[in-house]
Amino acid sequence: MTRRAAIVASSFVLEHVPDLVRYGSKPGREPQQLDALLGALRTFDQAVAYAPNQVFVGALTPEDLWTRPRNWWEHPVEGATPEGAHGDVMSQAAFYELLAEVDRFDLVKPKSEPEPGELPLFEGDEIAGAFAGDHDSDESLAPNVLLENLAIKASGVHALRDLLSRTGLDPSSITHAIGCGEEAVGDRYQRGGGNVAKAIAEECGLARASAIDVKSFCAAPVHALVVATALIEAGIEERVVVVAGGSLGKLGMKFEGALAKGFPVLEDVLAGMAVLLEPAGGSNGPIVRSDAVGRMPVEAGGAPLAQLEALVGGPLDALHIELTDVGTYATEIHNPEITEPQGGGDVPDRNYKMLAGLGVVRGELERTDIPGFARAHGLPGFSPTQGHIASAAPWIPHAIARMRAGDLHRTMLMAKGSLFLGRLTRLWDGVSVTLEA
């Protein structure tokens, strides 16, 4: 019998970097609104006490948000600390130090005034340093691009180091790292050469690890879990870590909606993740059901029902179960207090209504069950809008804890990728995996 793979540990971390929000893609294109943006930034203590951030690092459960009054930013968590059961919140000053530590090409210049062409690194109203480019005529090595890339690396290093610290695991026992961020690092000759995973592994002492990056926009983390599972089940690897850093380009992405509604700019954090897999044994963690991976083939096209039938219906049929036999579904769990002011609505709630609609089509639910499906089998949104990070993955540490406690038997992680953003195809991508205790 093919051996199974289990998810045995994970770490989900945040880096509060308000003074890097100005270098996000959207704020960078709206310089005339910079003063208003800067006036709506949060302090570190405010970011730490924000309930969705406390859920992200494991200090609160997702369900706490169902009953906590909104707006959440107006009701800070009393006694909140940066440390959670599944990760922590790093301050901007500490992140700048980490940026400098993992910089291998003298790009970060702490306590230096920026020279022409360099980016200033701010700490409030003060300049804390500068960030340089590395080629005058290669736009892929321009300061703003390299800052995004190094921030991705540093955020991933933060997550993986946190995982290693919490588990006490020997880094050399991990023999493969899979990067699953949305970045495409490279130079002008190959803009997506990649292997951020190997750069992260190097900084974290994974001396025996080889590495690859998996790309599929927001769906990449779940794809990476499938690849890691396959490597373990095939006997090729014994321990694999799936890792990703946050997306600096998405900082402040929806800041205009926040300003219009009088909200603070909540997209002021990067988010990193690290998930460890190894052969299943005993109760070391939930098993990945590789015999029930949901796929979105080309023939699924763009019709939502066809996509859901492929992503969810197929795995349910493979397991010979119905929709309600899965305790919790995790999908795009974007924080609605970020998406709603910009007109994007409550993304998780919309997805759960569509999922319940699939149950109606399959004859497994009544239409009257649709409004309550999210509370019964879903999650409130609590993840920063960091794209790949928000797509199901932040539920993993909560799921592990509940499965080990005997409170959850089965959960499904489902993610979709917006391939059309690359202007090569109008298709979506998607993948799902089911975990069982």
- Interval 350-403: pLDDT, tens: 999 999 999 999 999 999 999 999 999 999 999 999 989 999 999 999 999 999
Residue recorded with tokens 């970045």: 183
Alpha helix ranges (H) inside 380-432: 396-404
- Interval 302-323: pLDDT, tens: 888 899 999 999 999 999 999 9
b/e per residue 309-341 (b: at least 16 CB within 10 A): bbbbbbbbeebeeebeebbbbbbbbbbbbbbbb
Angle between helices 92-102 and 143-167 (to 10 degrees): 100
Query: Which pLDDT value is given to residue 184?
Result: 82
Task: With a cut of 70, say whether residue 123 has pLDDT above it.
Answer: yes
Section 85-92 average pLDDT: 98
User: For a pLDDT cut of 70, what percent of the chain falls above it?
Assistant: 100
Interstrand relation of 210-213 and 176-179 (parallel, antiparallel or unpaired): parallel
In angstroms, the first-to-last Cα distance of the chain is: 19
Query: Which pLDDT value is given to residue 387?
Result: 83
Mean pLDDT of the chain: 96
Task: With a cut of 70, say whether residue 194 has pLDDT above it.
Answer: yes
Query: Which pLDDT value is given to residue 176?
Result: 98
- Interval 22-62: pLDDT, tens: 999 999 999 999 999 999 999 999 999 999 999 999 999 99
Section 254-259 average pLDDT: 97
- Contacts of 231 by beta carbon, 8 Å cutoff, 6+ apart: 176, 237, 240
Question: Rounded CA gap, 321 and 363, in Å?
Answer: 13
**Lateral strand order in the sheet of 108-110:** 108-110, 126-131, 119-123
Task: With a cut of 60, say whether residue 1 has pLDDT above it.
Answer: no
Task: Give me 84's structure tokens.
Answer: 């959670």
Where do the domains of the chain lie, and which CATH numbers do they carry? 5-436 (3.40.47)
